[in-house]
Each structure stands twice: as structure tokens, then as C-alpha cells.
Structure 1
């Protein structure tokens, strides 16, 4: 039997580790809360409605992303601390061409948005998973998980074809991008993420250290992306967007670009797409397919995790493939 003293020592170690790991996260949440409350008040006090609107959009993007970012960092830290490298290698086929679609389908089990997928993909690479498979998972996880598909069905009641179209176009984009990286990707383009904890740390301590490192590291880039999205929202008038609703060939790239800058969480973007009723169905599909894979906050997260050179190349090609997949799927189903 375990002695009471040993149990007490273990509890004290766990408590100290949680406190140590949580200080940085609490500080980030506290600063974000104060900024969210005081920002609009300060803007209104200075009689600058555009600044107040900027703070509103910035807070909305950041706050809706933080819970899923936290989910992703928890999963990432758990993989790094508790999942043996050999277990991950056994789950995926050794052939990258087969591993990519398996990883893409596996993305359906993570109920998070794009903020969560980046640290998880980084952890998978650190644990020996082929980058092509990890990138396929990164793209598919925020786009085809059950929460997103249910939200899409609620946003488009009576239109199951929209849910199916989103599933097929998103999964197809993820698999194609994984295959493209396996064929044409170069190691010097990708900066593999470093471990958050000590090199030989395992177990609970490694989990807590990795959680703190990944959350604070990715959280800073989430804030940068939210700021960029808020700036676009107040800089581009709505009347400009209404000019392009007549032609599907103009509407599709327009909404695909709009998805990049609006940075709407994948759990909520279907409701935004449904509200854009003046646009063709294929254009709204492109908005939902592109958004979880390429947006400003995701670009910032990828640049901070994998390097700027990778993020620019990968995001550009992903956008083109996602638009093409949306057009083909929309022509077939919608």
C-alpha cells in the first residue's frame, strides 16, 4: 500500500505543477478580459465608433478561438507526454500515400477549430508522424468534425446536400494537400516545432510544461490574427461586397477571400455563410471550406509554429485547392 506521506508529497507536486503551468495562462486571460471590457468603453469615451467596432470584432474572434486553442494545446500536450511514439506509427500506414487519407479521416474525431489543429499537428510531427499525414489532419480536423457538421445542418435546415458538400470538399482538400506535400514538399520549408518541456521529461510534468508552452506560444499569434481580421472588418464597407453577388465566378473567390480575413471559427462559420443569402450556394460553400483551412489567425499560428516560409507557401496552395474543390463539389451537388 502507498503511505500517506507519499500521497501527500504527490498531491503537493501536482498542485505546484498546476500553479506553475497556469500562471502564464491566467495572465493571458486576465489581460484579454481587461482589454475586452475596457477597450470598447475607452473607444466610446473618446467618441470613436470605428475603434469601438474594432475592439468588438477583435474580442469576438479572440474569445471564440481561445477555448478551442486550449483544447488543442491540451490534446497536443497529452500526445507529447503520454502517447508513445511507436503507438502513433502503428496507427498510420508507413506508406505516406496511404497515411494521408487515414489521417484526414481521423480529423473527424477532434471537436475543435483551426486554432486547435495547429498545436496538435505540431505534436504529431514531434512524435514521428510524417509531415504529410500531420498536415492532412491539420486541415481536416476543424472542417469535418461532428460539431461542425451538426452546426452546418442547423444553419442550412432541410439542405443535407450542403452538409455533404462541405464534408466532401473539405476532406478532399485535406487529402490532396497531404499528397502534394508528400510529393513536392521540402524539408527546408518546414521548421519542425520544438518540444515544450524538458527533453527527457515524461508524464504529468511534461504534460503541464507542454501545455503552458504551447498555449502561450500559439495564443500570441491568435491575438495577431484577430487584430488583422478586426482591421479588415472596419476598413471594408459592406456596400462594396454587395456589388459582387451577381456572378458565381466573382462570388466564389470573393467569399473565399472573405473567409480568410473574417477568421470565423469553424463551429460558427456556417451561420455566417447562411446569412449571406444573396450569394450563390457554391460561393457560400467555398466560404465554409476555405475558412477552417486558411485565415489570418491560422496563418499567424502556422507561421509561429512551422515557420513563415512554410505558412506562406502552404496557405497559398491550400486556398487554391479549397476553392477548386468547392467549385467542383458545388457543381456536382448544389
Structure 2
């Protein structure tokens, strides 16, 4: 056998796998350290402020988690088993009439804000008018039964918050759809948003269901934890005098809560439990928080910019912010 044959016949050497530190290893180390130093940690963290904060955090997460899980399961089932063309077949041909129909359709098609953006793009790719798709994008994460039931559970002592939130969110979706019919231009939407996506015919529907539910749960669960942390910090760090001042100045309270909704970017299936923890504020600023959040926040702006283009997001998000505040105030004037 020649040298060349020996070289060709020899097996390539396997390089030893590199040691990688993932989040699982970090979590194990943190748990081991916590177990070893648990007595010291208990004594160091045994403070009334931290006990109050931990109680608020656990209460928010435990109450919201069942609705979050149910919401992502329904969202995954819709993505896997309900064709996007179903809504298109049910819509009136006239765009101005189809906009409120698409808004009401959000009741039957629950999903988080993250899921509504790709669904709206899929509707546009299947020939649905942009105004109709955008109306559905705003309505689906805000007026579906999961969100309304979670709001009712959170605001047991203020049941009118449920119809107020429904009306404010639906008004936001419908008004934005009509504004797009009147002033919107097709060139504001990036061409890639209208390009047909590759079919997933070869993928099992159960695989699509599992992947969608897992993705939504991980992403929305992270925002739920952040919301719980914020609610806990809000209750123990913000002086009561500040909240009394904010509650006495209704205009300032509305603006602050609207901006908080944009910055915090909470999941619509869990934000009611954060809003109810701000008990020092009147109901109207908290209603603004619940209406603005699912319509426009920092993660939605990023998703819209990546899906429909930065030019679209730069025009759509500020107008949605103003319309959502106005719609929440109108709904609050009717119900609160």
C-alpha cells in the first residue's frame, strides 16, 4: 500500500469537544452556592422590605402564570392548525368595513403581541389589505378572552375595568385601521414584508405547535418575570408620597403610566396583575397602562421595524401611542 493510500484509508482524528459554559451550568453553580450558604443568605436577606418585595413578586407571577400558559398553548394551536386564510375568507371586501371585523376577530384568535406581528404579515402576503391586517395586529393581543379573564381576576374589586379595557383596545385597533385607509401608503411597508414566506408543508403540525408554544412561553415568561420584579420594586422603592402626588395629578399620572407601558413591554396576558399592584393610583391611569401596553411598546416597535421596515415603525408607533391614550380615556369616561 502506498503512502497516499495509507493517508486516504486512515480515519481523521477527532478533535476533543470544547468545554462550553451554558446557562444550565451557571444555574447549577448558583443553586449549589445558595445551598451551601443558605444560612448566611437567610440572615442577610431577612429584612421587612425584601420580604414585602418577594411576596409581591411571587403573587404577581403565580397569579399570571396560568393565563400565560393557556395563552401560549392557544397561540401555538392557532399557528399550527388554523390557516391564516380563514380570516381572509370571512372579511368583507370593502376595506373600511373589514377593519372593525378584523378588530372583533381578535376575540376569537388570542395570541401575544409577538405572535400578532408575523400573523399580520402572513395576512398581507395572502392579499389582505394592510389596514385590515394592522387592525388585527393591534386587536388580537388586547381583546382576546385570555386577556379579559386575567383582567377580571386581577381587578376583582373593579369589574368595570374589563369592558373599559376591551372598548379602549378595540377603539385603538379600529381607529388605526381607518387612519391607514385614509392616510397610509403602500411604500411605507418594506418589500420583504409582502414577500411570500416558504411553505411549511413538510413540517408536522404538532412540531409547529410545540415550537410556537415553547417560543412564546420562553419569551413571554421572561417579560412576566421582569414585570414581577418591577411590581415588587415599585411597591417597596417608590415612596407613598410620590404615588399620592401622581394620583392627585391625573394628567401626569396618565402620561407616566403610558410611558411605563411602552418601556416595560409586558405580556398582555400578565400586565393586569402588575397594574393592580399599583393600588395608590386611580383606575384611569392604570387603564391607560393596560390599553397602551399591548398596542405599542419597545419590543413591538423593534418587531415592527424588523418585519415592516423602520420607516413604517417610525410612523406607526407614535400615532398608535397617541390613539391608544385617547381611546383609553374615552373608554374610561364611559365605564370608570
**TM-score normalised by structure 2 residue count:** 0.68
Equivalent residue, structure 2, for 1:322:
324
Structure number with greater Rg is 2
Structure 1 residues 217-232: aligned runs within 5 Å = none
- The question of whether the paired residues in 2 share the 8 Å contact of 1:256 and 1:323 is answered with yes
**Greater CA deviation, 236-245 or 87-96?**
236-245
State the match for 1:308 in structure 2.
310
Paired residues of 2:223 and 2:267 also in contact (CA < 8 A): no
Question: Contact conserved, 2:71 with 2:146, CA < 8 A, in 1?
Answer: no
Give the one of 246, 259, 262 matched to 2:261: 259
Deviations 1:88-142 (A, max 9, x none): 5431111110000000000011232212211211111111111111111111111
1:100-179 maps to which residues of 2 (within 5 A)?
100-179=99-178
Distance of aligned partners of 1:225 and 1:159 in 2 relative to their CA distance in 1, 3 Å threshold: closer
Cα offset, 1:146, TM superposition: 0.5
Encode CA deviations 1:281-329: one digit per residue, 9 max, x unaligned: 1100000001111111111111111112212221111110010111122
> Which residue in 2 is equivalent to 1:292?
294
Residues 1:31 and 1:38: Cα distance change in structure 2 (over 3 Å) = same
Aligned length: 285
Whether the aligned pair in 2 keeps the contact of 1:72 and 1:119 (CA below 8 Å) is no
After the TM superposition, which residues 40-79 of structure 1 pair with which residues of structure 2 at under 5 Å, given as runs? 72=75, 75-76=78-79
Deviations 1:52-77 (A, max 9, x none): xxxx9xxx9xx998996786576456
Asked if 1 retains the 8 angstrom alpha-carbon contact of 2:117 and 2:137, the reply is yes
Q: Tell me how far apart the structure 2 counterparts of residues 180 and 122 of structure 1 sit (CA, whole Å).
A: 19
**Separation (CA, whole Å) in 2 of partners of 1:221 and 1:300:** 14
Where do 5+ consecutive residues of structure 2 fail to align? 1-20, 38-56
**SS of aligned partner of 2:106:** helix
Aligned partners of 2:189 and 2:308 also within 8 Å: yes
The runs of at least 4 aligned residues of structure 1 exceeding 4 Å deviation read 30-42, 63-74, 76-79, 206-226, 232-237
Contact 1:225–1:298 under 8 Å retained in 2: no
TM-score using structure 1 length: 0.69
- Separation in structure 2 between the aligned mates of residue 122 and residue 32 of structure 1, nearest angstrom: 33
Task: Measure the CA separation in 1 of the matches of 2:29 and 2:319.
Answer: 40
For residue 78 of structure 1, report the CA deviation from its aligned partner: 5.4
Cα distance, 1:280–1:202 mapped onto 2, change above 3 Å: closer
